[in-house]
A and B are shown apart, each in its own frame.
Chain A
Amino acid sequence: MAYDYEKSLRPGKLPHIWCPGCGHGIVMKGLLRAMDTCGLEKNNTALVSGIGCASRLPGYVDMCTLHTAHGRAAAFATGVKMARPEMNVIVMGGDGDGTAIGGNHFIHACRRNIDMTYVIMNNFIYGMTGGQFSPCTPTGDKASTTPYGNPDPTFDISKLAIGAGATFVARTTAFHATQIDKLIAEGIKHKGMAIIEVLDDCPTTYGRRNKFRSVVDMMKRLKDMAVPVTAAGKMTAEQLEGKILTGVLYKEDKPEYCEQYAKVIARAQGVK
């Protein structure tokens, strides 16, 4: 029997705003399956986002949803979690939102190791504004503001998250649909900051400028780029050229922020 997504969606809010062929819908379905797997209660789960195509996702989902300002999702989410640590907090957003205008909030949320799950949909572009290059647009690629090719180096979001102190970091792609919910579920179960980067496709503003003839071509690229981290050890540097590692890239148990603050409260109240 087909999985029932509608039980987690708000009635009457579809169709969504995403273009045909966009990968965000695949990620949303993965999120809904993961939340189901983890048994998250709708009333006790906050879904927080910033601005951009990906950030419209919470509006469709029947939870406590907070569509904030550009880049600020992690900072709002920190306030929600600190004030009500018993709530599950999940952040959804894009690469431009999370790593450019929201870069500072992203790295500090990772550093605090506050217990939330941040699913970052990396489609290599600012889609909603019409295809300007983001910190994740590959060097040399075309965007509406890089007509001669992108001169900028790119962020590796997962490496950034690990470097900043996130204690669970995983990556997959929109092609690997069944892996998305598994990794998000693992992230939700992890106590601390979990970053799940999902490489995604934007056929409308990235694909057509960069000679992808169809959405299928873009999906093939995601498939070809991905190398499971478990397999990478057996591969040569040459074979790994141009590939990205997928799966759980980093996992560590470290004190979680709200638990640390609970100790502050205990000390302030004189509890020995």
Chain B
Amino acid sequence: MAKKVALMQGNEACAHGAMYAGCTFFGGYPITPSTEVAEVLSNELPKVGGKFIQMEDEIAAMASVLGASLTGAKVLTATSGPGVSLKQELIGYACIAEIPCVIINVMRGGPSTGMPTGPGQSDVQQAKWGTHGDHATIALVPASVQEIFTETVRAFNLAEKYRMPVQVLYDEIVGHMRERIEFPEAGELEVINRTLPSVPPEQYKPYDTSFGDVPPLAAFGSGYRFHVTGLNKAQDGFPTTKAEYVDAEERRQVRKVEGEVARVQIESNEEYLTEDAEVLVFAYGSTSRSARYAVNELRKEGIKAGLFRPITLWPFPEKRISALGKQVKAIIVPEMNLGQMNLEVERVVKGSCPVISIGRVDGEPLNPGQIIAQVKEVK
């Protein structure tokens, strides 16, 4: 049977990806350029008995999804940079209390209100370091309408599997662009649900590490009574200031994502013509599309350019970028900000090759010509 196809906007694909993943609760607040995600879900969720609520502000939207997630729902909120700035408080809460949730950030420029209808990639470091305190981050950066669908599904899977907030960041270009999308059949993409406790309620501890680095999460109202707090806590969920408990919990919460095994499961990258590349372009989101065009043009001229495109941006693909840094003569990092991921590439290659930033923050897309010119300069 032929697959169901459509011409669809990135934001719409995101909403349909959420439905595919089994999202049953959306809490949001209107903000350009992400609003279509909310609009589509306000239409789709009640059809399956799900809940849509438009809250009084961005913080409340984040709070509502966390409350809903604790009752066992798969939850989503969608916003843009200014909204994520406000949500940071409760993204931190979701990190420490380990509450699964997905946050869509359709990126525009900044700081502050910036250019609401223009594209940007200005939140890639905010995604990692926006909330205070040490914590692990998972952030995905799809580059096409199809990929927004599949990465939204994967974001839910990762949120449920690792019991934490997962951010999906895509720029306004991908969010508002219309492309052909093929809808996966039911069962075609993996859908993961959180691990529920296997012990009876009287033995349940919400941060019990005897089940590994990701403790099972019971639902409020399912017969399990437990305490959830934003304070540092022990494995039983109650606040503690005991140094050894606090240290163990903090380290576990970072390790559950940044540990060797987890990284392999979470990281996702695409490499294009990198095998023999002498100049590497590191690009993500819509910028990676310009970069791919640039690489093709350069190859026609006999210049060995290649593209590394992270699909998981955080945790950062440290090992692979470190290896490529030793292989190539230079890494070019085009992005719609003034070099945010360039810093991370620099940190990881540790001086083994020059790392050159191409930043653009004027509300216009980064075009292939800029990348081609820069590659030729280093060649």
Task: Tell whether A and B belong to one assembly.
Answer: yes
Determine whether the beta carbon of B56 is less than 8 Å from that of A59: no
Binary B-proximity of A62-88 (CB < 8 A = 1, otherwise 0):
111111110010011111111110110
Number of interface residues of B (CB under 8 A): 43
Nearest residue in A to B57 (C-beta to C-beta)? Answer: A104
Which B residues are within 8 Å of any A CB, using their own CB? Answer: 24-25, 27, 43, 46-47, 49, 51, 53, 55-57, 59-60, 63-73, 75, 89-90, 93, 220-231, 238-239
Determine whether the beta carbon of B239 is less than 8 Å from that of A43: no
Q: With a CB–CB cut-off of 8 A, which chain B residues contact A131?
A: none
Determine whether the beta carbon of B221 is less than 8 Å from that of A67: no
Residue of A67, A72, A82, A261 touching B59 (CB-CB under 8 A): A72
Q: With a CB–CB cut-off of 8 A, which chain B residues contact A104?
A: 56-57, 60
Q: With a CB–CB cut-off of 8 A, which chain A residues contact B64?
A: 75-76, 78-79, 82
Q: Which of A155-163, A170-178, A183-191, A264-272 touches B? A: A264-272
Determine whether the beta carbon of B49 is less than 8 Å from that of A265: yes
Determine whether the beta carbon of B227 is less than 8 Å from that of A58: yes
Determine whether the beta carbon of B238 is less than 8 Å from that of A13: yes
Determine whether the beta carbon of A83 is less than 8 Å from that of B68: yes
Using A43-B221, A69-B90, A83-B51 as known contacts, say yes or no to A76 and B227 having CB atoms under 8 A apart. Answer: no
Determine whether the beta carbon of B71 is less than 8 Å from that of A65: no
Determine whether the beta carbon of B230 is less than 8 Å from that of A67: yes
Interface residues on A, range: 35 or more
A45 → B minimal CB distance (Å):
9
B217 → A minimal CB distance (Å):
13
Binary B-proximity of A189-200 (CB < 8 A = 1, otherwise 0):
000000000000
Could you list 19 examples of A-B contacts with CB < 8 Å?
A: A42-B225, A44-B221, A58-B227, A59-B238, A66-B228, A68-B63, A69-B90, A72-B60, A75-B63, A75-B64, A76-B66, A78-B67, A79-B68, A81-B67, A82-B64, A82-B68, A105-B60, A107-B56, A108-B55
- Number of A-B pairs whose CB atoms are under 8 Å? 132
Nearest residue in A to B47 (C-beta to C-beta)? Answer: A268
Q: With a CB–CB cut-off of 8 A, which chain A residues contact B228?
A: 65-67
Determine whether the beta carbon of A69 is less than 8 Å from that of B49: no
A260 → B minimal CB distance (Å):
11
Determine whether the beta carbon of A48 is less than 8 Å from that of B67: yes
A71 → B minimal CB distance (Å):
8
Determine whether the beta carbon of A75 is less than 8 Å from that of B60: yes
In the bound complex, CA of A58 to CA of B230 (Å): 13
In the bound complex, CA of A72 to CA of B66 (Å): 11
